[in-house]
Structures are given as structure tokens and as C-alpha cells.
Structure 1
């Protein structure tokens, strides 16, 4: 509770600083709407008492005040709703929305993207900036409504103290409704993974990338059934939670209704006995007529607060997670040029929740300026090793040294500026081609010569000549651009990886999986020239990951991996002469290509 109040206070201060006019107007409207109801009731009370006493002037003045207060209450309510809604919406869209997405994307590694608790909260936060901003103003509105109720109960208590006890009963439906909403919130978080699953299945059925395989296999109905089943199960659990919340709400209202009825009966009996005057009775009737609606509004507003507050916990969690992930003391810059290279000392790594490590005691020296090939069967640990070198993950044990300095001591952002990479699961950026390539080196994004050099390195100049607007062609049908083939998308990714001219580490992780064999051969020749060039400039290490052994024969060093361990290291000639695992796998692939 304290943390939620602190977050709301922080957001209120930020609203006041960034949108002072809207914030001041909204707070003023809330303040006026809080007290105008009491002013109306007291004016009516004064009108009746003055009338019974025969004081026409006082009665007319009080009646005019009552009419004015009532008119103000009507107009103020509309103005308050409009101002609060606008202020919350602007704050959510202009401040919190970019902040949330910044925090989601700012964490340096990848591990958080594979953890269910992170994804559950991101599922709630994605698109949730407006409800999060609304949580502040719904809370202030709820407090205003609660104060209205308390003022009305005080007025009733002025007639007779026993009616003041309704203040205690007014708390009951509020508490019960909040209790029910906590059940709903907990269920929403528990079922977030189910929600993502059914959304994934829905995406498979509606995304053009998957439609060919789904139609060919004839599994659309099966996937649709799974999606429906998951959705039905999800909604059943959430519906049960909503039902439990409604039971809590009904119980709270039943408790209040009983007490309220008893209070009215007692007040009427006092009027019959002459213990209260006509003005007091009128005040009781006026307040009682609006009290039920005021309490209902208060309960609804607190329910809205509770619902909106479900965004606060993941919001706080995201901020704390991001702060912890970016609070590393690593502040050393990478070397301007590699002299010795990169060394791995007894490096092991396990993914969160994995039963066995993905890497076991890897000790390996990658010489500066060398081209190193990582080969091995699927699941051997090649890509995991690449992720550690890119600082997407930290080793579970052991150390990675760059020219003798621990990689964990090197500033991650600075290290990434000295890397280039093309991966099998490359990005498909729906932007102009020049941007899609230029993202590989932001300072040179507008340098056509640099872009042309990168296109040449990816053997993609011919592809560019076929695009209607050349580098300015927008690609991606979802944004109205042209659609590229898989091979063309991969060439753009390869060109992007060729942009930086002084990297320290260049990674090609299955970079030609979607390219035909002749083009692959030409690209690898370009890679060799590119590797030699950057090795001369910065001592860069080129790391090539491939399942196709024929593409790695020219590498300076070939590292053979199996079951998370390094089993062989050497040049192609050395490993073939040794006749071990590499020679066996190379022979199998060579025979396969020869007979295909």
C-alpha cells in the first residue's frame, strides 16, 4: 500500500511539473465537486427552516443558494470527468507510454525475455500506460467520493449521532469490493501465460508467414480448436474470479443496506416523537436520497482504482528490474584495437529452469585478427556461446577476458558499439532499405558510400537494382511497402552486419541459411575479404557459426562442439588429418552433397 501511494504521489508531482494547467484544473474541479453536494444539502436545510420560521428573505436567499449549488454540482461533475480523463490520457500517452517501452527495451541482456514472470508482467503492461496513468486520477476521484460520503454522514450525525454510525458501515462495501478485485487481479496475473499462448495461436492463424505450412499440413482447424480451448479455459478461470468478486461486493452492500434501513426507521420514529424539526428531517431525506448513490459511486471508483492498480505492481517491478539490470559497475571501455584476443576460462552456463548446463567448462583462446568457426550438431552449444560473447547473458561460472580484462568489467553499451552480427533469426525491419541497412552503424546511416560498401559485402547490389526506389524503397507489406523474399531479407541483414568498419567482434550465426549455394559461396568469399580487412584495422575476431562444414574450411581455427563442450580445435587440414569428430561429420556432409 505504501509503495502504491508513493508511486501515485510521484506521478502527481510529474503531472504537475509536465502539465501544470491540466493538473491544477483537474484538482480544482475535484475539490469543488467534493463540497458542492454538502452546500446543496445545507442550503435546502436553511431554506426549510427559514420558511417554517416565516423569514422570507432568508428563505429566498437560501433557495437561490441551493439552486446555484445544485447547478454547479451538475456542471462541475461533467467538467471534472472531462478534465480528469484528458489529464490522465495525456500523461499516459505522452509520458508513461514511452517510459514503459524504454524500460522494456533498455535491459542489456536477453534472459529476462525468456522468464515467465517477466513476460507475465509485460503482458499486462503492454498497452497499459493509459490505465496506469488513470490509476492516479481514479484514486484521487475515489478519495473525493469518499470525502463526499463522510461529509454526508457528518451532516446526518448533526441531526442525531446515531446516524453517524453509517460512516462505519459505508466502509464495508468498499472493503468487500476491494477484496473481490484482488481476487480478479491475482487471476489476471496467473492466467497471463495462457493469454499469451492463445494470442500466439491466433497469430499463427492470421500471419502470412505461417499460412503456407498451415494450409499445406491442413492443421488450421486443429490450431483453431487449440486456440478456442485455451481461450475457453482462460475465460472460465477469469469468470470464476469475477463471480467471486461479485459475491464479495453483494455481501458488502447487503451489510450496508441493513444498517441504512435501520437508521432511516429510527430517524422517522424520532420525527414522530418531535425530537427533530422539519429542516432536520428534510436534510436527512435529501442526504439519504443522495447517500446511496454517493456510496455506490465511491465503491465503483475504488473498484476502478483497484483494477487500475493492477498496473502499478508490474510497473514498479519493471522499474526495479531495469534499475538492477543497468546498475552494473562495469564502466571500462573496450580496447581501441584487439592485441591478444578473447579468452574463455572454464566457462559454464545454464539457462533459467534448465535441468542441465548448456555449456560445460569451456576453455578457449580466440586470437586477435583470426577467423574462428564454431561447428557442431544442433544443441551442441554454439549459439549459447555466441550469446555469452555478445553479453546477452553472463556466464554461470568462469570468466571471459578481452585482452586480459574481464568482459563483465566492460561497459555493455560500449562493447555493443564494437560488435557486428548477422543471425539466423535476423530482424525484418519494415522501413526504407537504407534505414534497414544503416541501423548497423547509426553514425553512417546517411552515408551512401558506406551503404554501397555494405551492400557489396553482402552480394546485394543486384537485389537493390530490382527495387523500385533503390535505397529509399520501403519494405514490409504491413506498412504498405514491398515484400522481400527470405533470401532478400537475409541479404539486407548481412549488409547491416557489414556496416561497421572497426568492430572488435563480428558474428555470423548461420548467416546464409536462406541463400542458394552459389550465392553462399560468393558471400563467404566476401566474408573472408571483410574479415581480413577489419582484422588489419582493429584486430577484430570474426566468429562464424555454421552447420555447413564446407563453408568453414578457410577459417583460421575451427572449434568443434558437442553436448556443450569443446571436443576439437584446429584448422581444417589439422582436424581432417586427426580423423576425429570433425572429419567424421565433414565426410558425412560431403557424401550427402555428392549424392544430392
Structure 2
């Protein structure tokens, strides 16, 4: 609960900063709603007693007072509803929603994107900004409705101390309701993985890409069956929790109902014996009914505040994860690489696994060199370049850039001096070609000359020239069905052009840069990529890292690293490795023989 209280204090500060008038108005309304509880009950008692005593004028005055108080209560309640809606909506849309999106998008690495617990919490947080802010005002409302309960109990105690026993029944009701919400919140978290799985399977079955494959293989029914199983698992868990939660609530309200009926029976007996006046009876009944309504309001407000725990917990978890990831250095990367990048005993193990993806990698990548990383699938090639880009932090060992540990560099400034094209490249829907390429270097997003230079470096002039509006052609059809769709290879060329936008990166990563291209395009792209790498080497001492499983494309590299099951088994240039007759020579000859047939 300490984290929840801190969260509410933070939301209150944000609300005060964003909408001070609405925030003050909410508190004034809550304070104002305390008064009608007392005024209405007392006015009704005076009305009855005055009427019974023949004081007609006093009775009428008291009745008018009761009506006035009742009207004031209705006005304040309606005003509070409007203020609450606008206060919550303002803070949720202008502060909380952007903050959640920013935290998710700007986390330093990508390790969290491969974690199930991260996705479980993000699933809960999607669209949760309104509920997060509303939980603050539910908590505030719970405090004030509790105060109204205490005022009601004090009035009952003035008639007879025994009536204050109703607070025990109210306490049981609140405890049962809290127990119910604990069950529901736990079920939401425990079934998040199944819920996410069924959604992924649904998207798989309805997306156009895999749709062709599913129909050819006649596997759509099987995917639908698995999606149904995951859905049933998620729904069954939540249904059971809600069923038991309902029983707890019924038990709590049944307890209060028994206490309430006992109180009514007691007041009837007092009036019949003359121990209390008719006005006292009306007072007790009015306050008892108000107590029941106040308890219901308290339960609803408390329930909403407690239910928000399923939103607050993942929100706080995300904030903590972001804070932990932002523990970074503040050193600036060098203007020009002079020594290069050195890896010493670098190892990395993915969370939740035991087998290292990389182990004991020690090598120097000289400044201005082209370094090829080769090996079979699963040998650790992509993991290595992600470590260089600082998407992961080494589990063991260290990476140094011109003698400075990579972890000591400011991650933002290091990223500003790197560029990359990955095999799982982005397809930026509903952007123009110029924008999709220009996003590789935001300061030059609108620089058409720079974009054309990058297009040429990626051997994509013919592609852009063949599009309906050239650089202004809008790409993608997934959002609204309009635009121009590209083939896999064409999308990859756009990604390669995007990677060529930066003028002086210290590190350029090309991760399987031609995996989706045909042989002629592959040859042209590598020829231009090598020319770009040599130019960057002269300008900034850039280290260009090329990852490929096609050995024929890396023969011009200055240094070739051969990975096998996460370990560096060989290093050297093409001729030296062939002469050695080791793993590289074996794999090279196997591929050469396969392509010659």
C-alpha cells in the first residue's frame, strides 16, 4: 500500500499542477457534502416534533430547511460528478497517457520487450490512464464518505449509544468487499499471460500475412482452437474469482442488513415505550438510511480505489523498471574513433534461461575497420550487435570504446553516434518514403538532399523512381487500406537507406542487410555498403559490423569473427581463415558448393 499512497500523492500533485481550479473545486464539493448529512436529519426531527407539539410555523420552517438541504445535496453531488469527469480526463489525457507511452518507448534497451512479465503489465496498462487518475478521486471520495459515516454515527449515538454498534456491521461489509477485490485483482494478474496469448493467436489468424500460410496448410482451425483454449483459460480464472468475490460481497451486505433491521426494531420499541419522541424516531430512521447509503457509497468508492490496484501495480512496476534502466553513465563518446571497440570476456544470458547466448567473447574491433560476424543460426550474432548498440548489458565482461567502458557513456549520445539496419527492420506505415528514410536522422528529417544521398547508398534509386509519387509516396496499407505497399525486399531497401542517413556514426551495424533481396540486389547493396563503410572510416574512424549467414558476401571484410554456439571460435580475414582450414573454411566451402549446383 505504501506504493499506492505514493502514487496517489503523485497524481494529486500532477492534478494540482495541471488543473488547480478543478482540484480545489473537488475538495470544496466533498467538504460541502458533509453538511447535508447533519442538516437534513435534524430538520426532519424538528419538523415532526414541532408538528406533534402544534407549532405549525416552526414545523413549516424546519420542513423548508430540510428541502433546502436536500436540494443543496443534489446540486453538490451533480457538480462533483462534472468536476470529477473533467479533472480526471484532463490529467489522464495530458499527463498520464503520454507518460506511459514515453516510458515504454524510451526504455534504454530492448530486453524488456522479450520478457513475459513486461508484456503482462503493458497489457493491463493499455488504455488505463483514465482509471489510474480516477483512482485518486475514488480514494479521496472514500475518505470523505467515511467522514460522512462517522457524522451519521455521532448523530445516532446522541439518541442512543447502542446505535453506534452499526459501525461494526459496516466494518464487516468493508472488509468483505476488500477481500472480494483482492481475489479479482489477483486473477487479473494471473490470467494476463493467457489473455495476451489468445490475443496474439487472434491477430495471427486474422492478419493478411500469415493468413495465406494458414490456409495453404489448413491450420486455421487449429489456431482458432488454441485461441479458444487460451481465452477459456483466461475467462475461467477471472470468472471463478468474480464468483467468489460476489459471495464475499453478499455476505458483507447481509451482515449489515441484519444490523440495520435490528436498529430499526430498537427505535420502534423506544417510541412505543415513550423513551424517544417521534422526531427522534424519524432522526434515527433518516440517519440509518443515510448510513446505509453512505456505506454503499463508501464501499463503491473504496472498491474503485482498491480495484485500481490492478492498474497501479503494473504502473509502479513500469516506473521502477524505467528508473532502473536509466542508471547510465554521463561520458560523451569520442568525436572520432582512434583505437576502436574492445570486448573483454563478454558474455550474455537472456533472462529466464540458463544457457548463455554468448560466453567469453574477447576481441578488438579496430577503428575504421569492416568487421563481419558469421556463424550458423543461433550462434549469437544478433545478440553480439545488440550488446554493441547497448540494447543489452553484458552479463559478464566489458565493452570499451576508445578505452572507455560502454556503460560509462551517456546512452543517448552513444545512440546518436550509431546507426543500424536490422533483419527485423521497421515498416513505418502511413509515412512518405522521404519520412521513412529521414527518420534515420531526425535533425535532417526534412533534408531532401540527405534523403536522396541515403537512397543512393542503399541502391534504392530505381525503387523510389518507380513509385507513384517518388519520395512523397505514402507507404503501407495496414492502417486505412490506402497507400502503396512494398515487397519484403523493397521494405528492406528503405530500412537500409534509413541506416545510411547519419553522416558520421562511430558504429554502423548491418544485421543480415540483404536477407530479403535477390542476388543482383544483394551484390549491389554490399558493393555500396562497403563504399559507405570506407568513407565513414575516413571521416569518423567508424567500425562497420556486418552480420551475415551468407559467407560469400563478407569476403572483403577486414576482420571476420566466426561464432559457434555463443563462442568466438575463429577470427581473421578471409584468406587467413581459408588457409587455416577450420570452421570458417568448412562452412564457406559448404555454402559455395550449394550455390554452385
TM-score after normalising by structure 2: 0.97
Q: Distance in 1 between matches of 2:464 and 2:49?
A: 89
Structure 1 match to 2:60: 60
Q: CA deviation at 1:164?
A: 1.3
Q: What secondary structure, in the 3-state scheme, does the structure 2 residue paired with 1:352 have?
A: coil
1:162-203 CA distance string (max 9 Å, x none) = 111112221211111011101111111111111111111011
Residue deviations 1:423-467, cap 9 Å, x none?
000011112222211111111111111000000011111111222
- Post-superposition offset of 1:394: 1.1
Q: Is the Cα contact below 8 Å between 1:37 and 1:70 reproduced in 2?
A: no
- Aligned equivalents of 1:513 and 1:225: distance in 2? 33
Partner of 1:377: 376
Distance in 1 between residues matched to 2:151 and 2:96, nearest whole Å: 35
- Aligned residues of 1:561 and 1:568 also touching (Cα < 8 A): yes
Indicate the residue corresponding to 1:549 in structure 2.
Answer: 551
2-structure distance, mates of 1:210, 1:32: 60
Give the whole-Å Cα distance in 2 for the aligned partners of 1:291 and 1:340: 77
User: SS at 1:334's partner residue?
Assistant: coil
Q: Distance in 2 between matches of 1:560 and 1:337?
A: 27
Q: Shift in Å at residue 261 of structure 1?
A: 1.6
Verify: 1:349 aligned to 2:351, yes or no: no
Moved over 3 A (4+): none
Q: 1:361 Cα deviation (Å)? A: 0.7
Matching of residue 168 in structure 1 with residue 168 in structure 2: yes
Residue of 522, 527, 530 corresponding to 2:532: 530
* Preserved CA contact (<8 Å) 1:205 1:220: yes
What secondary structure is seen at the aligned counterpart in 2 of 1:477?
Answer: coil
Residues 552-567 of structure 1: matches in 2 within 5 Å? 552-567=554-569
Count of residue pairs the alignment pairs up: 594
Does the 8 Å CA contact 2:441/2:501 hold for their aligned counterparts?
yes
**Residue 225 of structure 1 corresponds to which residue in structure 2?**
225
Matching residue of 2:306: 306
Indicate if the aligned counterparts of 2:191 and 2:233 stay in contact, CA closer than 8 A: no
Matching residue of 1:126:
126
Shift of 1:362: 0.8
Counterparts of residues 93-492 of structure 1 (less than 5 Å): 93-328=93-328, 330-430=329-429, 431-480=431-480, 481-492=483-494
Cα distance in 1 between the residues matched to 2:49 and 2:5: 44
Deviations 1:495-529 (A, max 9, x none): 00000110011000001111111011001000011
Q: Is 2:180–2:244's contact at 8 Å kept on the other side of the alignment?
A: yes
Q: In 2, are the aligned partners of 1:49 and 1:279 still within 8 Å (CA)?
A: yes
**Could you report, residue by residue, the CA deviation over 1:188-241 in whole angstroms, capped at 9, with x for unpaired residues?**
111111111111101101212221111111111110110011101111111111
- For residues 73-98 of structure 1, the C-alpha deviation after alignment (integer angstroms, 9 at most, x for no partner) is 22322222222122112211111000
What is the distance in 1 between the residues matched to 2:3 and 2:209?
44
Could you say what secondary structure the match of 1:421 adopts?
strand
| Larger displacement relative to structure 2 (554-563 or 18-27) | 18-27
TM-superposition CA deviations, 1:99-140 (whole Å, max 9, x none): 111111222112222223222222211221111011011112
Q: Which runs of no fewer than 5 residues in structure 2 stay unpaired?
A: none
Per the TM alignment, residue 473 of structure 1 is displaced from its structure 2 partner at its CA by 2.2
Deviation of 1:31 (Å): 2.4
Identify unmatched segments of 5+ residues in structure 1: none
For residue 5 of structure 1, report the CA deviation from its aligned partner: 2.0
Q: Any conservation in 2 of the 1:341–1:365 contact (CA below 8 Å)?
A: yes
> What's the CA shift string for 1:514-552, capped at 9, x where partnerless?
111101100100001100100000000110000111111
**Cα deviation, residue 51, structure 1:** 2.0
**Segment drifting more, 577-586 vs 526-535:** 577-586
Aligned equivalent of 1:511, options 513, 522, 528: 513
1:28 Cα deviation from its structure 2 partner:
2.2
Q: Check the 8 A contact 2:419/2:508 in 1, yes or no.
A: yes
Looking at structure 2, the residues matched to 290 and 341 of structure 1 have their Cα atoms a distance apart, in angstroms, of 76
| 1:583 alignment partner, one of 581, 585, 588 | 585
**Distance (Å, rounded) in 1 between the aligned partners of 2:293 and 2:281:** 19
Q: For 1:420, what is the secondary structure of its paired residue?
A: strand
Cα distance in structure 1, aligned partners of 2:517 and 2:558: 24
Q: Secondary structure at 1:108's aligned position in 2?
A: coil
Match of 2:22 in 1: 22
